[in-house]
């Protein structure tokens, strides 16, 4: 029997172990050096990581501009979080199920969502919710943490049918306060589901800092309560994220169940274009610090250049390619023509009930019969 004193000591030891166990894993340091061998990541994959990160950053900046110009609606920027999203998505197999939030379109694009589709989404167009045939990319989840259970369920179905695919759910630090986060981890643990829970802890749920979100020091340590693996990585380190997700994927595919990954990162900008971060944090200083000291794109470029995997000529060519791809995507989305209001009646059900058929006619008539 443990005494009260024994228990107090064990508790202190457990906290110390927890601090070590959930220490932030870093492979690629901000100065472009690595903390150990990275032979398991091929130069081709490294270049692909870089190309994607540059592309999605340019896309993100373009969208912020489009919003300012009134050409798209409220937009949720992800700049600063490219490594977490690109690194994780590149570690997936093409058929894996992806459940993103409204800030995870970088991951979605890497996983196969066309750029133009993402623009359409932010233009308030329903076409923006649709992924290419054969892909398993769900529309951005707008409520918080609810989609973690969908990922668990999709993984469950794959396991039930013996299919090799896994599911990944993206979410933020705020989501870990919702009940659905805990229910998802619990189900995934009980039924040993092939699912990856990827938390991008960017430190703020809109204005609320993580210290106000939870008394636990890390998100990764929540895994302990469900007896599933928890990993904390430098979320701006694309190698660390890629490795953690690849390992989690291997475990899941091998029938070893779920993993919770916490990728520590920072959004450089606002929560959305409707938000003003200067109200709740020292925005200029924090943003500058992360940009200059921990930027995910810069450190990978330093590494690639140092190892002769990338040079100025390639950079120039890629920047030009990126600009034209982003422009082409925006043009394609803008050329979609006016949204068809009658499409709101499509797909409410597989078979249209009488009252919807009637209301569809009513709107068509009100609009001058153009679509009747």
Partner 1 sequence: MSRELTMLQAIQEALDLKLADDERVVLLGEDIGVNGGVFRATDGLLAKYGEKRVIDTPLAESGIIGTAIGMALNGMVPVAEIQFLAFIFPGLEQLLSHAARMRHRTRGQFGVPMVIRTPYGAGIRGPELHSESVEAFFAHTPGLKVVVPSSPYDAKGLLISAIEDPDPVVFLEPTRIYRAFREEVPGGLYRVPLGQAKVVREGEDLSIFAWGSMLRTALRAAEQIEQERGWRCEVIDLRTLYPLDRETIITSVQKTGRALVVHEAHKTAGLGAEIISLINDEALLYLRAPVKRIAGFDVPVPMFSVEDDYLPTEARIRQGIEETILF
Shorter beta-carbon distance to partner 1: residue 256 or 356? 356
Smallest CA-to-CA distance from 183 within 139, 229, 147 is with: 147
Distance CA 21, CA 96 (A): 28
- Positions touching partner 1 (CB under 8 A) are 73-74, 102, 123-126, 128, 140, 142-144, 146, 174-175, 177-180, 205-208, 212-214, 272, 274-275, 279-280, 339-341, 343-345, 348, 355-356, 359, 363, 366-367
DSSP, residue by residue, 164-215? ---EEEEEETGGGGSHHHHHHHHHHHHTT--EEEEEEE-SEETTEEHHHH-S
Distance CA 79, CA 56 (A): 8
How far from the centroid of its chain's Cα atoms is residue 240's Cα? 15
Shorter beta-carbon distance to partner 1: residue 23 or 362? 362
Residues 9/15/17/21 CA torsion (nearest 10 deg): 170
Shorter beta-carbon distance to partner 1: residue 191 or 280? 280
Residues recognised as catalytic: 267, 271, 280
Smallest gap from residue 253 Cβ to partner 1 (A): 32
Distance CA 2, CA 97 (A): 46
Smallest gap from residue 240 Cβ to partner 1 (A): 26
3-state class (DSSP) for residue 264: strand
Distance CA 101, CA 170 (A): 6
Shorter beta-carbon distance to partner 1: residue 1 or 370? 370
DSSP, residue by residue, 28-96? B-TTS-BSS--TTS-HHHHHHHHHHHHHHHHHHHHHHHHHHTTSS-S----TT-HHHHHHHHHTS-TT-
Shorter beta-carbon distance to partner 1: residue 280 or 318? 280
Q: Is the dihedral of CA 291, 295, 299, 300 positive or negative?
A: negative
Joined together, the tokens standing for residue 47 give 């270049």
Smallest gap from residue 179 Cβ to partner 1 (A): 6
Shorter beta-carbon distance to partner 1: residue 74 or 319? 74
Distance CA 343, CA 94 (A): 30
Residue with tokens 């769900």: 138
Smallest gap from residue 74 Cβ to partner 1 (A): 6
């Amino acid at each position: 029997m443990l005494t009260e004193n024994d228990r107090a000591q064990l508790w202190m030891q457990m906290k110390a172990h927890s601090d070590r166990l959930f220490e932030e894993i870093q492979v690629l340091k901000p100065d472009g050096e690595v903390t150990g061998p990275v032979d398991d990541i091929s130069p081709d994959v490294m270049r692909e990581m870089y190309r994607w990160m540059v592309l999605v950053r340019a896309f993100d900046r373009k969208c912020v501009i489009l919003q300012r110009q009134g050409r798209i609606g409220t937009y949720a920027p992800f700049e600063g979080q490219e490594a977490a999203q690109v690194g994780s998505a590149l570690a997936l197999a093409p058929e894996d199920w992806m459940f993103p939030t409204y800030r995870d379109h970088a991951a979605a694009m890497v996983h196969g969502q066309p750029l133009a589709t993402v623009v359409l989404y932010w233009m308030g167009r329903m076409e923006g919710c649709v992924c290419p045939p054969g892909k398993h990319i769900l529309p951005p989840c707008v409520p918080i943490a609810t989609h973690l259970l969908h990922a668990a369920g999709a993984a469950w179905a794959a396991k039930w049918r013996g299919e090799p695919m896994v599911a990944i759910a993206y979410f933020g630090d705020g989501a870990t306060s919702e009940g659905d986060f805990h229910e998802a981890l619990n189900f995934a643990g009980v039924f040993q589901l092939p699912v990856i829970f990827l938390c991008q802890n960017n430190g703020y749920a809109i204005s609320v800092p993580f210290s106000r979100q939870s008394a636990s020091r890390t998100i990764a340590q929540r895994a302990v309560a469900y007896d599933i693996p928890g990993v904390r990585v430098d979320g701006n380190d694309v190698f660390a994220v890629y490795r953690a997700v690849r390992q989690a994927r291997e475990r899941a595919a091998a029938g070893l169940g779920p993993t919770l990954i916490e990728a520590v990162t920072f959004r450089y900008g606002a929560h959305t274009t409707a938000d003003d971060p200067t109200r709740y944090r020292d925005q200029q200083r924090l943003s500058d610090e992360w940009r200059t000291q921990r930027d995910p794109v810069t450190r990978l470029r330093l590494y690639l250049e140092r190892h002769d995997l990338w040079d100025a000529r390639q950079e120039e060519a890629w920047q030009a390619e990126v600009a034209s791809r982003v422009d082409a995507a925006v043009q394609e989305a803008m050329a979609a023509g006016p949204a068809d209001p009658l499409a709101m009646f499509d797909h409410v059900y597989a078979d249209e009930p009488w009252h919807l058929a009637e209301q569809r006619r009513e709107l068509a008539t009100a609009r001058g019969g153009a679509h009747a």
